A and B are shown apart, each in its own frame.
Chain A
Amino acid sequence: NAGVTQTPKFQVLKTGQSMTLQCAQDMNHEYMSWYRQDPGMGLRLIHYSVGAGITDQGEVPNGYNVSRSTTEDFPLRLLSAAPSQTSVYFCASSPPSWPRGLSGYTFGSGTRLTVV
């Protein structure tokens, strides 16, 4: 089924460990983003990409790296996990908004990360 696939669904890390959250979409969407969702704080944008080879920072980029070597994949790397990074992480993608019209995001089902 077409959509956004995130792996893993659940992960427990120890402080200081590193890991990569995977995100893949098969809709040929150019735009992809990573959000984290914390209770009472809504979704906050971590990093986004407007196409292969192009990434930019969002609201809360510290402690995270991204790369976009292909249109399909947009992995999020935690460099040295901290308890403050305990959250639910969502990847989302959308086709470009101009000139082909405006569109919303398609979200993945999320990765629930706990850092102990």
Chain B
Amino acid sequence: SQQGEEDPQALSIQEGENATMNCSYKTSINNLQWYRQNSGRGLVHLILIRSNEREKHSGRLRVTLDTSKKSSSLLITASRAADTASYFCALRGTGNQFYFGTGTSLTVIP
């Protein structure tokens, strides 16, 4: 399978706490991306990390990539109620098609 697998499937935290979600995969990758989906909406691109990068930051987001373990993590620091959404990792195939996992549903309680 070319899909990633997110873990946990669901996560509930208090506002202000950090949220960590993980993505594991089985194939070699060119890059890995994280997307957010608010309920009833399309996906929004958050961050991309290339296979030769180990860590990347964007605002309150921190993404790590360990190609030896075939895994990536997304950390959201100082979470807010507006961060409540589903988060997906996406792996790029040999062309430009992307394969998405089943997602982590994050609930941030005010």
Please tell me if the beta carbons of A107 and B95 are within 8 angstroms of each other in the complex: no
1/0 contact trace for B40-62 toward A, CB 8 Å?
A: 01111100101000000000000
Please tell me if the beta carbons of B96 and A94 are within 8 angstroms of each other in the complex: yes
8 Å CB contact of B98 from A40, A105, A106: A105
Please tell me if the beta carbons of A97 and B96 are within 8 angstroms of each other in the complex: yes
A74 at interface, CB cutoff 8 A: no
Q: How many A-B residue pairs have CB under 8 A?
A: 61
Size class of the contact patch on chain B? 20 to 34
Chain B residues in 8 Å Cβ range of A58: 97
Secondary structure of the B contact surface, majority rule: strand
Please tell me if the beta carbons of B42 and A109 are within 8 angstroms of each other in the complex: yes
Interface residues of A in 16-66 (CB under 8 A from B): 31, 33, 35, 40-45, 48, 50, 56, 58-59
A105 touching B101 in the complex, CB below 8 Å, given contacts A31-B96, A94-B96, A97-B96: no
8 Å CB contact of A42 from B30, B41, B42, B102: B102
Chain A residues in 8 Å Cβ range of B31: 102
Q: Give the distance to chain A from B49, nearest Cβ to Cβ, in Å.
A: 10
Chain A residues in 8 Å Cβ range of B97: 33, 45, 48, 56, 58
CA distance A43 to B45 in the complex (A): 14
**A interface residue numbers (CB < 8 A to B):** 4, 31, 33, 35, 40-45, 48, 50, 56, 58-59, 90, 92, 94, 96-97, 102-110
**Known A96-B96, A104-B90; 8 more pairs at CB < 8 Å:** A4-B42, A42-B100, A44-B100, A45-B97, A45-B98, A48-B95, A56-B95, A56-B97
